A and B are shown apart, each in its own frame.
Chain A
Amino acid sequence: MKKTALTLFSTCFMLSATAATDIENEKYRWLAQYDSNQDYTIDVEELYSSRATLFEQADKNQDKVIDANEHQQFFERNLQEKIDYDRKQSIKQTHVRFNAMDKNDNNLMSYDEYMATAKRSFDFYDTDKSGIITLDDKKPTFTSTKKSTLTDAEKAEKKRKRQMRNATRVVRMPTTHSKSGMLVKYDLNDDQQITWAEYQQKRNLDFARADENGDKDLTNDEYVAEFEDRLDTQIAKIKAAELNKNTPLFASLDKNNNQQISVAEFQLNALVNFTYFDTDNNGQVSFEEAVNEQMLPVSLLALSKL
């Protein structure tokens, strides 16, 4: 996975305590950013070294301080890189999805192929086979009949990568990979259930919107373009929200409020966060290390270490 410095300024923990998984994700993002040798463990030396590199990248005029303008440019550039990466992965996956749904390999997705996939998805969530997806349907189980050939170490590595990837993703689309997601998208009359007719109606609308030339077949281009339109709408929202974080993040790093971030301020922030994550106080932060579920304001943490 491409490593970016997206979270360079986003680990200042100004926010109040949140759920443990959120804190875990924050740690994974933090690890992904500074773990230069990719061993899922960071010590202070590695952290300082990674931070020093980032500081140099942000300090465009090389005057040993990051001013507000440099901070904003660096923040925006890294955000854009991350968005571009996530977008590319999403589009790639859409091409793969098209190919999987195009069962007869004619490079077209017919209405029948499209609806066959839709029906499988509907049946998957309609676990009591009542013909209606309701709140009473039990959570479906994802079972694979494929026997894994991975070793335990490989499985652990795969899991770590997946968790890191999930944590570092900026662009997220509304998902239909959960019953609640299905209800949001397909419960047209808001009665907390989805009938097959209701589901079909929405899928028909989606198909028609993608079928640009109205020939009842979707080309790869039509299918992907429809997704891209939704994806880019979502990206615009996410980007606007993320960009709003820039100013408060700069303020949190600029401890002496002189409108500049010095190397010392920059590294201090890293040390504070390191200390917070090093819950077993062994001088290292590892992927498996338990997180502190009580998130403290950064100012208190900083004071306690000074």
Chain B
Amino acid sequence: MKSNPLKKAYLLVLLYGLSAVAFAAPQTVQFTVQGVLGTSADITLGGVTQQEAKQQVSLALDEIKRLEMLLSNYQNDSELSQLNRGDFTGKLSAELQQILTLCELWQARSSNAFSCKLGAAQSLWKNAQKSQILPDRKALRSLARAARKAKFSVNLPIENWQTIPQPTIVNFDINGLAKGYIIDHAFAYLKASLPTLTSLSIDIGGDGRYWQQQQKPFTIGISQPFKPHDNATIAQIKVINQAIAASGFGSRHYLIKQQKFHHILNPRDAWPLNNAPGAIVIAPDATTADAIATALNAKPMQAGIDWVNQLDNVEALVISEQGFQLASNRWHHYQLPATTAADKHTQLNIPRFSFDFTIPTLDVDDYEKPYVAVWITNAERKVVKNLLMLGKSEQWAQTNKRWWRKSGRHHELLLDGLARPSRKPGHYQLSWDWRDDYGNKVAMGEYQLHIEVSREDGAATLANFSFNSTELPFKQTKPAQGEIGPLQLNIHAIR
């Protein structure tokens, strides 16, 4: 859940980790603090004395409190509240300038999947919950558009801004990255103020930043996104000098006429997200991780992961409510190996899987780009992985009859969240990480890869490859036929 990071005052309760080492000797010191940004904070420091740790953590918490007072939407006299009311004059504080600049940056980088300017729309939804009357959708979309276009020169006095904020249109809601920003701020403060520090981790409400002088990894458990209170972890990941943020977990709702609406709004149209995936992001700093995780809630799963794969030093995992997982290219490099013998086996010998296919150029009238489905079944002929779907229309997806029967008709998400737009003729390459649709590693054994292609006014063509992951290398080609160009499946072990 994207908890509200700026709501409550914190209650300073420092809990020291037990230690037999003398109070003045450097050691690892742990603090659990309740009431930080409306949640709890865990701060662990290595290579410092308890006394200096206590002193500096206390000052860091003061700094967090100062930022909270500056950036809160809930404190009437905060700088942000004054700005939102149109009461603020002069230049913004450096911190708010930085945050609003980052907001604009991530709005652009995410192609408008991220926004800090939906405060007015959020107010409309809160009012709608009170009145039990749905907001006008067209008006909300106009509001979102106007907010999206509003540009500010944050380093100038408010009087010189190109667009003066109007509370009913542009109302800043910076929750999408404020927690990450504050974590980074506290992190920088502690690192700078404790020269003997050898390790530092700050976790506030599940988002955190981690550093270790010796480059030793921290192990972090990832909880079930849609059952965050089950205490069950779906994976453990290791991070070295990085940050982690999660968004969309255990989400809250507006309830209007017995209908639930997600509390996170789509920046595109200020309408609540529908079937938003949960997202976990690893990035170099907490602000970046927080902003990307928030943006991933608003993107279709496949589009979100495609976007992350274009970003440097960022990895992400997105999970649908039904449990479907998509991971960025190197996400699983951060995931700790499972402990079963079979898993260890596959972990050590992950074969490299490469499938090349071609959508041929056809000289026909009214050519329409074909619908393509590539999927993998196991020895029991059960679908273990939907590798690629090109084309999102259910009507045309059904023309890939085998795929539709085996997989497509069972999961609406396959077309809604995982399919990509259809593609023009050309050569394409796919890989597979030997994981099923739910992120589990598959056992070694026999599998089949299927590719089915159909085109409006064309035929439907199917091709299959049978392979055994214990009998490698495997290489097979197939000539062009019907709607499918030449194919090649190449699998070889890496040791």
Contacts and interface: CB of A to CB of B under 8 A. Distances in A.
Contacts of A76: 257
B401 interface: yes
Given A77-B258, A80-B259, A92-B392, A149 B422 contact: no
B368 A221 contact: no
Contacts of B422: 99-100
A104 interface: yes
A53 interface: no
Interface in B409-457: 416, 421-424, 456-457
Nearest to A158: B398
Contact of A100 (B137, B369, B394, B458): B369
A105 B423 contact: yes
Nearest to B140: A232
B188 interface: no
Given A77-B258, A80-B259, A228-B269, A147 B138 contact: no
Chain B CB count within 10 A is highest, among A77, A99, A212, A236, for A99
Nearest to B415: A92
A229 B457 contact: no
A145 interface: yes
A144 B457 contact: yes
Contacts of A233: 138
Contacts, number: 65
A68 interface: no
Nearest to A144: B457
A61 interface: no
Q: How large is the interface on B (under 10, 10 to 19, 20 to 34, 35 or more residues)?
A: 20 to 34
B132 to A, nearest CB: 10
B259 A229 contact: no
Nearest to B393: A96
Interface string B108-144: 0000100000000000000000000010111001000
A74 to B, nearest CB: 9
B179 interface: no
Interface string A65-108: 00000000100110011000000100011011001100111000
A147 B459 contact: yes
A146 B141 contact: no
B313 to A, nearest CB: 25
B257 A77 contact: yes
B145 interface: yes
B460 interface: yes
A225 interface: yes
A73 B258 contact: yes
Interface string A113-127: 000000000000000
A149 B257 contact: no
A99 B421 contact: yes
Interface string A37-81: 000000000000000000000000000000000000100110011
22 contacts: A73-B257, A77-B259, A80-B134, A88-B274, A92-B394, A92-B416, A95-B392, A99-B421, A100-B368, A100-B369, A100-B422, A105-B421, A105-B423, A145-B457, A146-B458, A212-B145, A221-B112, A225-B141, A228-B137, A228-B138, A228-B141, A236-B138
Interface of B: 112, 134, 136-138, 141, 145, 257-259, 268-269, 274, 368-369, 391-394, 396, 401, 416, 421-424, 456-460
The 9 closest A-B pairs by CB, nearest first: A96-B393, A99-B421, A232-B138, A146-B457, A232-B137, A105-B424, A145-B457, A77-B258, A96-B392
